[in-house]
Amino acid sequence: MSGDRSDIEAIKARLDIVQVVQRYVGLRPAGERWTGVCPFHEETKPSFSVSSSLGMFYCFGCQASGDVIDFYSRINGLEFSEALRDLAEEAGVQLRNKPGGGDVSAEREERRICYDLHAVALAYYRNELDGPRGARAREYLYSKRGLSEGMVRQFELGLSPNAWDGLKRRLTQSGYSPEQGVTAGLLSQSKGGRIYDRFRNRIIFPIHDLGGRVIAFGGRAIGDGEPKYLNSSETPIFKKGEHLYGLYQARKSVTQSKQVLLTEGYSDVLSLVQFGFQNACGVLGTALGPSQIKRLAGLCKEVTLVFDGDRAGRQAALRSAEMILQQGLSVYVVTLPQDEDVDGLLRSQGAESFRRLLAESREGLAFCLNMIRYSHVPRDIMNWAVSFLSNLGQRSWQAYFLPRIATGLNISEAELREAISDRAKPSGPSPTGTPRRRTAQNPEAPSRGRLDKDFLRFALCHPEYMDHLQRIGLEGALRTDRGRRFWSKLVQHGVEAVQPHLDEGEKQFYIQCRFAADSGQEPRMLWEDIRARVEEIKHRKRYSELQQALSEAQSRGDWQEVYRLLQQISQSTKGGE
């Protein structure tokens, strides 16, 4: 997590989580909370709950939970720092801790101007498409591409006329300088200093962020212009390789179905959506990158690749499937006919033909292994397998992938493990660090962890009993280090104010318990049970300590100490009866 703690709390104080969630989820009041259908998994009955007073959300179905920043980042597939920045702008909070330093206020103003410039450009391009100069472009979209007016409106398509300064003059009329237009990637500047429109005589495809703001444009040449496709350059609000075309429009369908159709071009996305495949989006003219996969991973669990049927398309599918699998997502690959793209297939053969191809799609790992097996020599096959396994998002996933890859490529599993081990040796310690490995090697007894959770759950659900729990010495009854650390934070900060001091695992447990606080159980009866269990644990712990001390005294031959300890054990036994 990055960001100053006080900035984070200021954002949460100024933004009502219910109002933010309602932009994405239909909520209904249910007592002091609001409920709706969870956007993070498929369900019919609402199990998603939002509390304005707690400033948190929780799903009783899939256990998704968090505060307003967690929700915004997850629903939009953003990194925490990106969500923090967006919500800070909305809340009017000036972030004080910007990674890498720099003038935060100047950067924020530059981004605001870029957004405003794109809004002006969008209106200009759309008006041009609807105006007298848009006749040829409209014929191309409606007649040649077969798009409906509804699709053109939904995706806000436009036209850049065949002029060098049309948009430049519009931006100037709106109060912006040509230099600001260059910074926003809407205008270009020659080596001689002349500033002119970047997009000329092109169909315009607006590229939105997941909040719905236009952040860039793609342009397809009308006629024989070169290059055929041209995208915005990188700007303060747009980084190549981070965004996906159409994901804003597809987001609701993707988050509900947990599936996405990923294709290559603007026209492919538009055709898929028009033919009823609402969960379609596309890469932006470049190879699929890690940031785009991470964005998808925040929204879905399964990616189906729909790339062209030529050799280049199959190679692109191979590279994409590898990266998606390494990030822990499921992937399937649709095999299109040779030299066919999905736009042409849908327009010539209809949706049912594509549905058949979807049903016949190959599982991603099987597709990769088949491609590697028939296109690589033995040395390269082993290198590919080692590279794939070494670059998995989590090392533990090797247990799943390694035997399948060894079988699929006809490689000895033992030799493959040895090759991975040899590759890892020069890199030194595992990047995951030793603490997590130590935890795995020395796990706490599950029953102890469950008992600690019972005690801590009671404290969170019934904070009025915190003083009682301290008086009976709950800390001495907690059996795990994690449980004791959590209790220490509760004592230090209080139940209501502890959340900012919790790690991610503690935070999820805290939210789950707080949302269960009104379960209707009688707290006094629960308290009597908790008190009895704490006393029993403390008694057993004391008895075990006395037995250990007795054993040590006997080993030393200290018979006076042995006699004293026997008396204490006898009294302890009577007291526990």
Angle at 269 between CA 267 and CA 273, to 5 degrees: 115
**What DSSP character marks residue 210?**
T
Provide the token pair at 572: 């302890």
Q: What is the pLDDT of residue 429?
A: 42
Provide the token pair at 282: 């596309």
Give 320-353 as a DSSP string.
Answer: HHHHHHHTT-EEEE--PPTT--HHHHHHHH-HHH
* First and final C-alpha spacing in the chain: 51
Burial tier of 354 (Cβ tally within 10 Å: 0-12, 13-18, 19+): buried
Q: What is the pLDDT of residue 147?
A: 95
Contact between residue 316 and residue 264 where contact means Cβ atoms under 8 Å apart: yes
- DSSP E strand boundaries for 104-192: 158-160, 187-189
Q: What is the pLDDT of residue 103?
A: 59
Tell me the average confidence (pLDDT) per consecutive run of 10 residues in the chain, 577 residues long: 74 94 88 88 84 91 89 82 87 72 72 95 98 95 94 97 96 97 96 96 95 93 89 92 93 88 94 97 87 86 92 92 93 91 93 96 96 90 95 89 95 92 59 37 51 88 90 87 92 87 87 74 78 82 78 81 74 56
Q: What is the pLDDT of residue 80?
A: 83
Contact between residue 229 and residue 220 where contact means Cβ atoms under 8 Å apart: yes
For 351-394, the three-class secondary structure string (H helix, E strand, C coil) is HHHHHHHHHCCEEHHHHHHHHHHHHCCHHHHHHHHHHHHHCCCC
Residues 570, 568: Cα–Cα separation, whole Å: 5
Cβ atoms within 10 Å of 366's Cβ, excluding its own = 14
Q: What is the pLDDT of residue 363?
A: 97
When computed from its CA atoms, the radius of gyration of the chain, rounded to whole angstroms, is 30
Residues 189, 567: Cα–Cα separation, whole Å: 93
Contact between residue 15 and residue 96 where contact means Cβ atoms under 8 Å apart: no
Written as one letter, the residue type at 97 is: N
At residue 205, the 3 state secondary structure works out as: strand
